């Protein structure tokens, strides 16, 4: 587990404690068993962005407060230069760069996502709202609610993110795309 993940899990636990929310209540609000929730909070289970977004909503904070420990400060315009963004490092094959991390009270969460190729089954995720993906480089399979679509450079997909979904790169090369999660 990375130092960044340890810090994120620590912030989640600390904020829940500060707000006097029992683990059982937090788990219920996130639709997990208490054991599943505590596995996230202790770092025994890797998070998905949807988990962090839901947890931030329950805590009534911006997701960047969980990720970075700082509150976003801008409300009119946030510029992120090429290759920059707030890095979210995960042990899985996913690399996220948050593209509006300094903007507060966002209605959407934009990311540049790179997924490294690996031999794995789909790991289904779901979260409230909608999502938009624009494929910038490579090809991938996009699983959505029981159907698999091939997505190539220049393609886009807009979907109900409350339904199970995941992606898997094709051709042994990374897939790079812009993902905008709309609350």
- Residue at a domain's end among 41, 68, 95: 68
Give the H/E segment covering residue 3.
helix 3-18
Q: Does residue 90 lie in a domain region?
A: no
Domain containing residue 140: CATH number: 2.60.120.10
Residue 68's contacts (CB-CB under 8 Å, 6 or more residues apart) are 86, 101
- Residue at a domain's end among 68, 95, 123: 68
- Same domain (yes/no): 115, 178: yes
Q: Does residue 172 lie in a domain region?
A: yes
Residue 103: other Cβ atoms inside 10 A: 23
Could you tell me if 90 and 45 are in contact, meaning their C-beta atoms sit under 8 angstroms apart?
Answer: no
- Residue at a domain's end among 13, 40, 68: 68
What domain range is 150 assigned to? 107-182
Look at 113 and 8; give whichever has higher pLDDT. Answer: 113
pLDDT of residue 91: 59
Based on the structure, what is the number of domains in the chain?
2
- Same domain (yes/no): 64, 112: no
Q: Does residue 126 lie in a domain region?
A: yes
Mean pLDDT of 134-152: 97
Q: Does residue 170 lie in a domain region?
A: yes
Classify the C-alpha dihedral 51-104-15-3 as positive or negative: positive
Could you tell me if 174 and 115 are in contact, meaning their C-beta atoms sit under 8 angstroms apart?
Answer: yes
- Same domain (yes/no): 116, 63: no
Of 16-30, 62-76, 125-139, the range with the lowest mean pLDDT is 62-76
Question: What is the pTM (predicted TM-score) of this model?
Answer: 0.73
End-to-end alpha-carbon separation of the chain, Å?
Answer: 28
Q: Does residue 96 lie in a domain region?
A: no
Q: Does residue 84 lie in a domain region?
A: no
Domain containing residue 58: CATH number: 1.10.260.40
pLDDT tens digits along 23-61: 999 999 998 899 999 988 888 887 777 788 889 889 988
What is the rounded average pLDDT for all residues in the chain?
Answer: 89
CA distances from 12 to 26, 92, 156 (A): 11, 20, 33
- Same domain (yes/no): 111, 178: yes
Query: For the chain, what is the total number of helices (H) and then of strands (E)?
Result: 5, 9
């Amino acid at each position: 587990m990375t130092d960044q993940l340890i810090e994120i899990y620590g912030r989640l636990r600390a904020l829940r404690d500060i707000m006097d929310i029992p683990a059982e209540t937090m788990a219920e609000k996130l639709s997990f068993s208490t054991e599943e929730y505590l596995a996230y909070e202790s770092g025994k289970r890797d998070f998905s962005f949807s988990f962090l977004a839901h947890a931030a909503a329950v805590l009534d904070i911006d997701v960047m407060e969980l990720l970075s420990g700082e509150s976003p400060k801008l409300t009119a315009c946030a510029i992120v230069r090429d290759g920059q963004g707030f890095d979210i490092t995960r042990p899985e094959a996913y690399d996220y760069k948050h593209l509006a991390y300094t903007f507060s009270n966002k209605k959407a969460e934009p990311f540049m996502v790179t997924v490294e190729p690996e031999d794995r089954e789909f790991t289904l995720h779901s979260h409230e709202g909608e999502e938009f993906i624009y494929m910038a480089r490579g090809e991938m399979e996009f699983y959505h609610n029981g159907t698999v679509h091939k997505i190539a450079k220049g393609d886009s997909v807009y979907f109900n993110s409350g339904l199970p979904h995941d992606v898997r790169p094709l051709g042994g090369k990374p897939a790079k795309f812009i993902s905008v999660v709309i609350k």
